[in-house]
Amino acid sequence: MEKVAPSCRDRSMVCDDTVQAFGLKYIAVSGTYEFFLLNHCAPKSLASEAILMTYSSASSQWFCGLPLIMPVGCKLHNDTILSWNSRLYSLWMRKGIIVIFAFLRDTWTEVEVPTLEYPLTLLKAFLMVVSGSLYMVGGVGPVWHHNNYQEQPTTIRIWKLLALGDEWEEVTTMPFLVFREFEQCIDFDFVQCWGKNGVMYMKGLLMDILMFDLRTNEWKWLKKLSTVYCFSLIFEPSLSAMA
């Protein structure tokens, strides 16, 4: 990566259809962090360009990666970048299908999503790092739900990416009764997912939070937590911090 020059900053702002994704990596050994900003210029009828910019607290400088030309119709699926196993992961939509791109040393590699039995497909997805492993929370439904205006999943599954980074292992499927309550309390279009100390958290626009404990394979609700606000980032920069 090169240090950010004015031309790079200007280049990332010229497109009216720019969307962005963000990520944060804490380096415990040095007590420093890196902040990632992915700018994707996404015109609907042309090939698009994605540029990754990185801020290092160690040097107090921004660095700009080489641009990646994306296929026509490819766009960011959500605004999150995750750092795992020395690579950066982001979710994209390509022709209505969710894909994953991993970034390492100015190179983007497509990572296969979990395989589903027909007619099921992945309608929504979220990535999170929990206790040193990369997980995907996926909203699964029949392929014809792609033509449905709301595209609401009929079940939710959780997968774990194995150490080599090229194969997913299914962890669990959300129980039917939990899923029915999830539908009533959390809109999948606005859900936020994060993990800490072996527990996954899922939250929508309301104050209800659904937890899944990876150690005990148990689901639990936290109801009406008025002190938890949406669209916030919680970062714990301490040597004892664990995702």
Percent of the chain with pLDDT over 70: 79
- Are 100 and 183 within one domain? no
**Binning pLDDT at 50, 70 and 90, where does residue 89 land?**
very high
Q: Are residues 122 and 197 in the same domain?
A: yes
Q: How confident is the model at residue 189, as a pLDDT?
A: 76
User: Are residues 50 and 3 located together in one domain of the fold?
Assistant: yes
Higher-confidence residue of 223 and 162: namely 162
For residues 159-172, average pLDDT: 90
Highest mean pLDDT among 74-78, 136-140, 204-208: 136-140
Radius of gyration of the chain (CA): 18
Query: Residue 241 pLDDT > 50, yes or no?
Result: no
Residues 102-127, mean pLDDT to the nearest whole number: 86
Same domain, 4 and 106: yes
Instruction: Judge if 13 and 26 occupy the same domain.
Output: yes
Amino acid 104: pLDDT = 83
Pairwise CA distance, residues 18 & 70, whole Å: 13
Specify the pTM: 0.81
Please report the pLDDT score of residue 43 as a whole number: 66
79, 20 in Cβ contact below 8 A?
Answer: yes
Last residue of one domain, picked from the residues 111, 145, 162: 111
Region 26-53: what's the mean pLDDT? 83
Considering the domain architecture, whether residues 37 and 117 belong to the same structural domain is answered as no
Q: Which residues pair with 137 in a beta bridge?
A: 126, 158
**CB 156 within 8 Å of CB 174:** yes
225: Cβ–Cβ under 8 A, 6 or more apart, which residues?
207, 208, 209
Domain that holds residue 135: 113-243
Range with the poorest average pLDDT among 95-99, 183-187, 230-234 = 230-234
Flag whether pLDDT at 6 surpasses 50.
Answer: no
Tell whether the torsion through CA atoms of 77, 24, 82 and 240 is positive or negative: negative
pLDDT at 236 over 80: no
* Same-domain status, 92 and 130: no
**Domain termination site, one of 69, 86, 111:** 111
Angle CA(177)–CA(181)–CA(183) in degrees, nearest 5? 115
CA distance 143 to 155: 13
20: three-class secondary structure by DSSP:
strand
DSSP string, 133-199: EEEEEEEEEEGGGGGSSS---SEEEEEEE-TTSS-EEEEEE--HHHHHHHHHH--GGG-EEEEETTE
Number of domains in the chain: 2
User: Model confidence at 109, in pLDDT bands (50, 70, 90)?
Assistant: confident
| Weakest-pLDDT range from 131-145, 162-176, 216-230 | 216-230
Which of 49, 77, 111 lies at the terminal end of a domain, its last residue? 111
**Average pLDDT score, the chain:** 81
**Is residue 149 located within the same domain as residue 204?**
yes
Q: Are 104 and 86 in a shared domain?
A: yes
Residues 134 and 231 in one domain: yes
| Burial per residue of 220-233, b for 16 or more beta-carbon CB atoms within 10 angstroms, e otherwise | eeeeeeeeeeeeee
Distance CA 171, CA 238 (A): 29
Verify that 8 and 65 share a domain, yes or no. Answer: yes
Predicted confidence (pLDDT) at residue 239 exceeds the cutoff of 90:
no
* 235 and 135 assigned to the same domain: yes
Q: What is the mean pLDDT of residues 37-64?
A: 84
Q: Quickly state the pLDDT bin for 220 (edges 50, 70, 90).
A: very high
